[in-house]
């Protein structure tokens, strides 16, 4: 018997579904395939470093689609807007469990906005002597970039709107929606 999918309805905060669950799933397949191709000849495991909390669902789906040998790890950072941190300021709140030195690393991030977070992480990991570093972001807001960051794998480009679902939150809500939804602009 086919499983019944229950899609939570939009609430009063959410204006429309931007990317539905099937489209997300197909795109994550494609990204996993590209990553598999790139690293298929690696003798050692690739270390995936997810940026908490927003990347946790993307990480879960992407890592389960990979056929290459890999290790899942996480970091937590705080960026502007949280606890009054200044714009552009990024702080490491929780480090990886793995020692990244001499390993091939793939950063897994929910969304590329100004680029401050990824630019900070790439710089930090390079200074630790990684063998190579690449980045996979689920969403990209090209209009918002302030810093040039090399990103090898991008799920979807989206306009400059606040989105939630598939790991992304608004005040810790909506992370578990199976789709990406756009919020009404805050008044
Ligand atoms: P950046 O350092 O690139 O400016 O910021 C990236 C971070 O901003 C993301 O990891 C995410 O936490 C947050 N962010 C940016 N745009 C959105 C959005 O539309 N929705 C949510 N939930 N978070 C966002
Ligand atoms: Mg994030």
Cα dist from 26 to 65, 120, 170, whole Å: 11, 30, 25
pLDDT digits (tens, 9 = 90+) for 146-168: 999 999 999 999 999 999 999 99
Handedness of CA 90, 96, 99, 101 (dihedral sign): negative
Q: Which H helix or E strand runs over 22?
A: helix 21-39
Angstrom distance (rounded) from CA 141 to CA 146: 11
Give the residue, out of 50, 109, 168, 175, with the most ligand 1 atoms within 8 A of its beta carbon, to mutate for a pocket test: 168
Count of other CB atoms within 10 angstroms of residue 70? 20
Instruction: Give the total residue count for the chain.
Output: 187
Q: Which residues are part of the catalytic machinery? A: 113
Output the CA 87–ligand 2 centroid distance in Å.
14
Domains and CATH numbers, the chain: 48-79+88-183 (3.40.50.2020)
Atom number of ligand 1 nearest to Cα 149: 3
Span 16-35, average pLDDT: 98
pLDDT digits (tens, 9 = 90+) for 30-89: 999 999 999 999 999 999 999 999 999 999 999 999 999 999 999 999 876 555 556 668
| Whether the CB of 57 sits within 6 Å of ligand 1 | no
- The two structure tokens encoding residue 63: 């890592």
What is the signed CA dihedral for 16, 21, 23, 28, rounded to 10 degrees? Answer: 130
| Whether the CB of 110 sits within 6 Å of ligand 1 | yes
8 Å CB contact between 116 and 146: yes
| Whether the CB of 169 sits within 6 Å of ligand 1 | yes
Residue 187: what pLDDT? 59
């Amino acid at each position: 018997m086919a499983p019944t999918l229950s899609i939570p309805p939009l609430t009063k905060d959410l204006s429309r579904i931007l990317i539905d669950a099937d489209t997300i799933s197909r795109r994550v397949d494609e990204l996993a395939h590209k990553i598999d191709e790139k690293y298929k000849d690696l003798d050692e495991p690739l270390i995936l470093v997810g940026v908490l909390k927003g990347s946790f669902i993307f990480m879960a789906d992407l890592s389960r689609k990979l056929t290459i040998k890999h290790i899942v790890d996480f970091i937590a950072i705080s960026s502007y807007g949280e606890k009054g941190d200044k714009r552009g300021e990024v702080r490491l709140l929780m480090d990886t469990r793995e020692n990244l030195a001499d390993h091939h690393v793939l950063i897994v991030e929910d969304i590329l906005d100004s680029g401050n977070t990824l630019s900070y992480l790439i710089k930090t990991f390079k200074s630790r002597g990684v063998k190579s570093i690449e980045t996979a972001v689920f969403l990209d807001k090209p209009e918002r970039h302030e810093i040039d960051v090399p990103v090898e794998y991008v799920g979807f480009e989206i306009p400059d709107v606040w989105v939630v679902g598939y790991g992304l939150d608004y005040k810790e809500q909506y992370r578990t929606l199976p789709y990406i939804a756009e919020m009404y602009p805050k008044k």
